[in-house]
Amino acid sequence: MRSSQLFFPTLREVPSEAEVVSHQLLLRAGFIRKSSGGIYTYLPLAMRVLHKIQQIVREEMDAAGAQEILMPIVQPKELWEKSGRWSAYGDEMFRLSDRHGREFSLGPTHEEVVTDVVDGDVHSYRDLPMILYQIQNKYRDEIRPRFGLMRGREFIMKDAYSFDTDAEGLDQSYEKMRQAYCRIFDRIGLKYRMVDADSGAIGGNNSNEFMVLASSGEDTIIYCDQCHYGANLEKAVCPESPTVEGKSTTKLLELEKIATPGVKTVKDLSDLLGHPESDQIKTLIYLADEELICVLLRGDHELNETKLKNLLGCNLLVMAAESDVRSALGAGFGSLGPVNNPLKIYADNAVQHLVNVGCGANEDGFHFIHVNPGRDFVPYAYADLRNAAPGDPCPCCGRPVGAMRGVEVGHIFKLGEKYSRAMNATYLDQSGKVQYMVMGCYGIGVSRTMAAAVEQNNDAHGMTWPMPITPFQVIIVPVNAKKADQMEVAEQLYHDLENAGLEVLLDDRDERTGVKFKDADLIGIPIRINVGPKGLALGQVELKLRREEEAEMIALPDIVTKVKNLVEAQLKP
Ligand code: ATP
Ligand code: MG
């Protein structure tokens, strides 16, 4: 390809709406253009990257025995009513109606459609197991589309669905997909971790996420380098035992109420009493579906809403309004506590180990000190309700865990019979008995993976693509396109490198050298060959690797082999 023929409208300025580096660079380097919030056009350079990611995904899905299909984006309401998700999906679903007033969704995911397809044509255990996949646009009216391709409202996903006769079969399909996912992200050339993920209402250890490590990631990963434990913060298990064994033998002091004017937070109370925040109880009031509930944490701990929601099994979980709290407890935020509290109290396991601590007195401007769980209040339940934090002991091996940020690029999930029961997807087993199919689903955010790759591969000058997904492998830059001898050598090289099977961009534009070098760096081509007068006088060209500072002079007869070897070495995972 010649740069003069390539549509890559680069920008000098960093677009103001772009907060993260992948969004900035994808706009600046002319990969994408915004159409509306969270909806983008992919320009030619982006298409080349997306095709490569999709190719790797296809090869690994096919190798794992999955079969490619393409399902409709427009999906009838009736299917979603069968699964119960027409209403449960809520505002994130784009909805439309046809000229007859029939309602449809723009597919945010395809469990309903795929289950319907398989149910229609698969009737016997002999037809199972089966894994189907597709690569397609998905539509989700995200509450906060942001970070460019990271959280779009229209985005490209690979979604796969497995159908098995029983749970053991599902375990095998899941394991196949897990291994395929590892190969995919290894081959793409990204630093990632597979972590335990929350599986919501279905529960159990039924879900893993693939996280590309990047500081701009929206997710937090808790990990242990000693034993390879890794979990999404939402899911990471906290170490406190729920029993009081080993509880401190400190003498319990008498409960005392003290005036605390102006104290609104755990920190205020800590400052006033001169005790650490870990010696206070943090009291939160939530509205769970229709019911007000009270949640207790050690003062220095954070609530994990996912854990609370899973414990309660509720649909809606929001912080209670202060007016509701006041009518229930007689005090406002900042003075709340568990003593004489009529609400159902759910306490984090760590609270059980507290002795002689402080908390609100359910009276504005007053707190209790020397509060002791068990004596002064008895929670309805103790559970693991807090966020794990760096330094906590690893739930597997006990060494301190770390925390880092990640971008979720893949998610694999054991669905079990959730959809097959709701949609009555059955088969006849060996004895002719009707059984529900056992399902799994497996997603990769293809467009998000491109953005995540940029998050992980960039420097002050632009992108630095990993070889397996770079839009071009080599760029040839004649220093002065007006000079016939330079253009002649550049054209010959272009020809030879393409014949050697490489993907080459020839910058044949009549631009200043500086502009051409800047553009080559911005779009991040891993290998650049500069054809200039000094080198040519000696029969040489300059070889410059995007990720290295120094360039190297190479004799013309050696350059093709040299470049080919470099490319091949970097294509290996
Ligand atoms: P998230 O928690 O980021 O919203 P999700 O759990 O809703 O993701 P899935 O339904 O599991 O995502 O979708 C499979 C994959 O699709 C995700 O792992 C992610 O890579 C990608 N994906 C999900 N939502 C978006 C989006 N709004 N924009 C781009 N990619 C997305
Ligand atoms: Mg989502």
Work out the angle at residue 337's Cα, subtended by the Cα atoms of residues 334 and 343, and round it to the nearest 5 degrees: 120
Q: Tell me: the pLDDT tens digits for 430-489?
A: 999 999 999 999 999 999 999 999 999 999 999 999 999 999 999 999 999 899 999 999
Give the ligand at the shortest distance from the Cα of 199. 1
Q: Tell me: the pLDDT tens digits for 204-256?
A: 568 999 999 999 999 999 999 998 899 999 999 998 765 555 456 788 999 99
Residue 202 pLDDT level (bands cut at 50, 70, 90): low
- Name the residue at shortest CA distance from atom 18 of ligand 1: 410
Q: Tell me: the pLDDT tens digits for 262-316?
A: 999 999 999 999 999 999 999 999 999 999 999 999 999 999 999 999 999 998 9
Place of tokens 């650490």: 276
Answer yes or no: are the C-beta atoms of 286 and 321 closer than 8 Å: no
- Name the residue at shortest CA distance from atom 26 of ligand 1: 151
Give the whole-angstrom CA distance, residue 297 versus residue 347. Answer: 6
Ligand 1 contact via 448 beta carbon (within 6 Å): yes
CA atoms within 13 A of residue 513's CA, in its CB half-sphere: 11
Give the whole-angstrom CA distance, residue 501 versus residue 567. Answer: 10
pLDDT at 516 over 90: yes
Ligand 1 contact via 116 beta carbon (within 6 Å): no
pTM of the complete model: 0.92
Report which ligand 1 atom has the smallest distance to the Cα of 413: 11
User: What was the pLDDT predicted at 315?
Assistant: 86
- Name the residue at shortest CA distance from atom 25 of ligand 1: 151
Q: Any residues with CB less than 8 A from the CB of 396 and at least 6 apart, and which?
A: 224, 227, 229
Give the whole-angstrom CA distance, residue 433 versus residue 253. Answer: 66
Please spell the DSSP secondary structure of 214-256, one letter per residue. -TT-SEEEEE-TTT--EEETTTPPP---SS-TT---PPPPPPE
Segment 109-127 mean pLDDT? 96
Q: How far, in Å, are 117, 185, 193, 198, 400 from residue 225 at the CA level?
A: 43, 20, 11, 21, 9
Coil, strand or helix at 185: helix
Mean residue pLDDT of the chain comes to: 95
Q: Which pair of structure tokens corresponds to residue 27?
A: 């706009």
Distance 139 CA to ligand 1 centre (A): 11
E strands present in 304-431: 317-319, 344-348, 357-360, 366-371, 381-383, 402-416, 426-428
Q: Fill in the amino acid letter for 375.
A: R
Give the whole-angstrom CA distance, residue 529 versus residue 552. Answer: 10
Q: Fill in the amino acid letter for 242.
A: P
Domains belonging to the chain, first-starting first, are 55-237+403-455 (3.30.930.10), 247-383 (3.90.960.10), 472-571 (3.40.50.800)
Residue 88 pLDDT level (bands cut at 50, 70, 90): confident
User: What was the pLDDT predicted at 105?
Assistant: 97
Q: Torsions phi, psi of 563, nearest 5?
A: -65, -40
